[in-house]
Amino acid sequence: MKQEIIIAGFGGQGVLSMGKILAYSGLSEDKEVTWFPSYGPEQRGGTANVTVILSDDKISSPILNAYDVAIILNQPSMDKFESKVKPGGILIFDGYGITKPPTRTDIRIFRIDAMNTASNEGNSKAFNMYVLGGLLKICPMVTLESVMQGLKKSLPERHHRLLPMNETAIKRGMELIEQL
Amino acid sequence: MEATIISPENLVYDKPRLMTDVPMHYCPGCSHGVIHKLIAEVIEEMGMEEKTIGVAPVGCAVFAYNYIDIDWQEAAHGRAPALATAIKRLNPDKMVFTYQGDGDLAAIGTAETIHACNRGENIVIVFVNNAIYGMTGGQMAPTTLIDMPTATCPQGRNVELNGYPLKISDLLAQLDGTCLVTRQSVHTAAAVRKAKRMLQKAFENSMARKGTSIVEFVSTCASGWKMTPDQSNKWMTENMFAKYPLGDLKNI
Amino acid sequence: MAEEVKFMKGNEAIAHAAIRYGADGYFGYPITPQSEIMETLMDERPWETTGMVVLQAESEVAAINMVYGGAACGKRVMTSSSSPGISLKQEGISYMAGAELPALIVNVSRGGPGLGTIQPSQADYFQTVKGGGHGDYRLITLAPNSVQEMADHVALGFDLAFKYNNPAMILTDGVIGQMMEKVVLPPQRPRKTEEEIRREQPWATLGKTKDRKRNIITSLELDPSIMEENNIRFQAKYRRIEENEVLYEETLCEDAEYLIVAFGSQARISQKVVEMAREEGIKVGLFRPITLWPFPKKQLFEYSKKIKGILTVELNAGQMVEDVRLAVECRIPVEYYGRLGGIVPTPDEVLVELKKLVK
């Protein structure tokens, strides 16, 4: 089993940390994992992306041509990565701020309105956890239990009181996601 | 052997034990020899010879390591305070000093000097200011006086072209990391005795972890100044001391 | 600390590995994309546990000269930077080579010339393996291709530096520095005591004791006949290193008709290219130099007798390709593919180039 995933959006949307939680989840299932971020000024509000690879075998390149799953959180990322989803692969996007929805017919496309919902539910800081929930619903590459372990590892201890809120967000995301 | 020439009761002066027998390359009348001797005496009298590490500069004193019988490191031009920082931090029980000229300390190594002092490194900086680059043949130094001729300002230092003489010790005295900044000279016996006391205070400060101590020696360079040693001393007293007055700039 | 499996960035692995190696000191100055090294060290506060000194210097120049001062005391000291900062350190590196001082320098390189970009690059290959600073000297150069090797090469670099009294460099880039992977951290080793250093590094300037002459660490020698002898001694040492310390890795090379030669991050990408090409029936293997100096030239020469061609993949305008061509003495075609200015090629891009060579 190998999952090659790109998560892309604006800096500050929790793109890198969502990738990190996914990576830690894979680790607690004894998978080989690489997490490779775009780095630099992107972290300060420009576009940011991270490539996460989960695999049963040793991973060669941390940089890829094409992805099994693309999680797209803004229009510039849609423009860049829609074409890079492998045929038969999965594209998940948040409708917020997407002016040109994806048009490919050889991939499975899902929409999750996480930004609006998180904001309406007063939980906008856990926005990325809604998205992660959506991903796990359609592509259960790791168990929810592993994700909670991953969260524990990637969150500093002083934030562990936020774990239940994150779990709620993940479960909510599972309900929100819909195939187009 | 010495005892056979002068009986111990008649001995009034001796070469410091830590001075080697290597003939010095310094020019007649140069201040370096006396300053070397004072350092050797202080280390010896403090009983610190097995714990002292000296850092030699690039400049006339580049071969300082040939003359004082302790462990030495030879630094790149201007970098001695960086070396000394690491030596002292990695070996807090050692006594560490740099020996630097005006070009080394106040031109190419200004950043290293200021930041070592600003961190309050527990080291001693011995600063020999003769207002000229002696080793490379008498070029202008950051401390060269206005109108003073050198190989690279043959008509004399021109403020418009070359800026002003840099009173770096005054600047270092402003930094919170320094505990002793003093300006001394070795042109008379009295001055030599006073300078030695300040040098000892500086070394004691470094072992007491009080911060950085700088002992500036306003010095002559008879060859670079193109004067006799006697003329040099006179010129220094009349001109150098006016710009670089002797005394403590800071002593806490 | 016992052996531990962690998930971390390459830069962080370097910091943890340095503490666990029993390093005595780190001196650095912030620059992207390697600042996590000093940040991690400051966060770990090894001065409270192992006694390791960590100091933020006022410049890269000061940092490398602090390394000189520490190394001259026989201590295990290191610095890290990225390309523009490494340029500033060249003076100190040359002095350390001339004074025969062991130290570890890490270059998480970025695209140049000049201030350039903070994105990954291998354009410092020439600077690292051909000189960089002034004078006839060589820098032992390690090129890790994973977070694990970032950690492993700290120990390897220090060990080689102390074996030969010569500075060693880890030459890597932002891909390996910023990537997170699993890493097995070695157990904590104690720092060397002063007694051990006095015994193992008798040249160290730790204070002159009565039983020995004074130690002088210098690269200066004004007598040309002695300076020539010094240089001959350095060169003999470099030949010994070339004879004994070459490291490389071969993947699917046994039956290969073609080789990709790539180091560091580009070896990771090229490994994927080899997998893709093999699926299409192209018999290609990956040859990865782990030491860039000494360069595995004998091994590549042997391959030149049995393969049809080589493609080097580099994040520069074609630097290592010159060493590969020299190694195979132009017996077979050696082509180069690379991207510049911080762009990292994708595996399919490289595959296209490989196919041009295979035809």
Q: Is residue B1 part of a domain?
A: no
ipTM above 0.90, yes or no: yes
Q: Which of C32, C173, C180 to mutate to test the interface with A (most CBs of A within 10 A)?
A: C180
What is the mean predicted confidence (pLDDT) over C62-84? 98
Neighbours of C146 (CB within 10 A): 23
Q: Count residue pairs from A and C with Cβ separation < 8 A.
A: 63
CB contacts, 8 Å: B65 with chain C: 214, 216, 218
Q: Is residue B6 part of a domain?
A: no
User: Measured at the alpha carbon of residue A24, what is the angle toward residues A20 and A27, in degrees to the nearest 5?
Assistant: 140
CB contact under 8 A, B76 and C25: no
- Per-residue CA distances from C82 to B82, B215, C119, C219, C342 (Å): 20, 37, 11, 26, 13
> Per CATH, the architecture of C4-194 is what?
3-Layer(aba) Sandwich (3.40)
Split into its structural domains, chain B has a count of 1
Q: Check residue A89 and give its pLDDT.
A: 97
Which other chains touch chain A, taking contact as 3+ CB pairs less than 8 Å apart?
A: C
Is the pLDDT at A43 greater than 60? The verdict is: no
What is the mean predicted confidence (pLDDT) over C108-124? 95
Q: Check residue A154 and give its pLDDT.
A: 81
User: Measured at the alpha carbon of residue C16, what is the angle toward residues C12 and C20, in degrees to the nearest 5?
Assistant: 165
The domain limits of chain A are: 2-179
Nearest to A39 among C174, C272, C347 (CB): C174
Nearest to A36 among C179, C271, C346 (CB): C179
CB contact under 8 A, A65 and C346: yes
Q: Is A37 on the interface with C (CB under 8 A)?
A: yes
Tokens of B141: 């130094």
Q: What percent of chain B has pLDDT over 70?
A: 98
Nearest to B70 among C55, C70, C214 (CB): C214
Q: Is C93 exposed, middle or buried (0-12, 13-18, 19+ CB in 10 A)?
A: buried
B window 60-99, beta carbon within 8 A of C: 62, 65, 69-76, 79, 82-87, 89-91, 94
Q: How many CA atoms lie within 13 A of C352 on its CB side?
A: 7
pLDDT digits (tens, 9 = 90+) for A17-36: 999 999 999 999 999 999 99
CB contacts, 8 Å: A34 with chain C: 179-181
Separation between Cα atoms, residue B225 and residue B138, nearest integer Å: 7
Find the CATH number of the domain harbouring B178: 3.40.50.970
Asked if A72 and A48 touch (Cβ cutoff 8 Å), the reply is no
Asked if C354 and C282 touch (Cβ cutoff 8 Å), the reply is yes
CB contact under 8 A, A39 and C182: no
Query: In this structure, what DSSP letter does residue C310 have?
Result: E
Q: Are strands C248-251 and C291-293 parallel, antiparallel or unpaired?
A: unpaired
Give the model's confidence band at A44: pLDDT under 50 very low, under 70 low, under 90 confident, else very high: low
CATH 3.40.920.10 fits A2-179, yes or no: yes
C131 or C97, which is more confident? C97
Q: Which of B90, B98, B122, B136 to mutate to test the interface with C (most CBs of C within 10 A)?
A: B90
C298–chain B nearest CA distance, Å: 37
Is the pLDDT at C155 greater than 70? The verdict is: yes
Q: Is C347 on the interface with A (CB under 8 A)?
A: yes
pLDDT digits (tens, 9 = 90+) for B156-197: 999 999 999 999 999 999 999 999 999 999 999 999 999 999
Range of the domain at B180: 26-251
Beta bridge partners of C170: C106, C142
Alpha helical stretches, state H, B17-60: 32-46
Q: Are strands A178-179 and B71-74 parallel, antiparallel or unpaired?
A: unpaired
Give the model's confidence band at A156: pLDDT under 50 very low, under 70 low, under 90 confident, else very high: confident
Q: Is A36 on the interface with C (CB under 8 A)?
A: yes
pLDDT digits (tens, 9 = 90+) for C242-252: 999 999 999 99
> Taking CA atoms, what residue in C is nearest to B115?
C58
CB contacts, 8 Å: C272 with chain A: 60-61, 64
Q: Count residue pairs from B and C with Cβ separation < 8 A.
A: 124
Closest CA to C171 of C240, C80, C237: C80
Mapped onto helix, strand or coil, the DSSP state of residue B198 is helix
Is the pLDDT at C80 greater than 90? The verdict is: yes
Q: Is C195 on the interface with B (CB under 8 A)?
A: no
Domains C4-194 and C249-358 share a fold: yes
Q: Is residue B7 part of a domain?
A: no
CB contacts, 8 Å: C214 with chain B: 65, 69-72
Q: What percent of chain A has pLDDT over 70?
A: 96
Nearest to B86 among C27, C215, C220 (CB): C27
Q: Is C318 exposed, middle or buried (0-12, 13-18, 19+ CB in 10 A)?
A: middle
pLDDT digits (tens, 9 = 90+) for A62-108: 999 999 999 999 999 999 999 999 999 999 999 998 999 999 999 99
pLDDT digits (tens, 9 = 90+) for B44-93: 999 999 999 999 999 999 999 999 999 999 999 999 999 999 999 999 99
DSSP H or E segment with residue B117: helix B110-118
CB contacts, 8 Å: A33 with chain C: 7, 180-182
C205–chain A nearest CA distance, Å: 42
Distance of CA C145 to the CA centre of its chain: 11
What is the mean predicted confidence (pLDDT) over A128-138? 95
pTM: 0.95
CB contact under 8 A, C220 and B94: no
CB contacts, 8 Å: B62 with chain C: 220
Q: Which of C7, C32, C183 to mutate to test the interface with A (most CBs of A within 10 A)?
A: C7
Separation between Cα atoms, residue A72 and residue A66, nearest integer Å: 14
Query: In this structure, what DSSP letter does residue C112 have?
Result: -
The domain limits of chain C are: 4-194, 249-358
Give the model's confidence band at A13: pLDDT under 50 very low, under 70 low, under 90 confident, else very high: confident
C156–chain B nearest CA distance, Å: 22
Q: Domain C249-358 adopts which CATH fold? A: Rossmann fold (3.40.50)
- Per-residue CA distances from C329 to C277, C291, C323, C333 (Å): 26, 20, 10, 10
CB contact under 8 A, C175 and A62: yes
| Phi and psi at residue C312, to the nearest 5° | -95, 140
Chains B and A touch (3+ CB pairs under 8 A): no
CB contacts, 8 Å: C265 with chain A: 62-63
Give the model's confidence band at C104: pLDDT under 50 very low, under 70 low, under 90 confident, else very high: very high
Asked if C47 and C215 touch (Cβ cutoff 8 Å), the reply is no
Is the pLDDT at B130 greater than 80? The verdict is: yes
CB contact under 8 A, A39 and C118: yes
Q: Check residue C359 and give its pLDDT.
A: 82
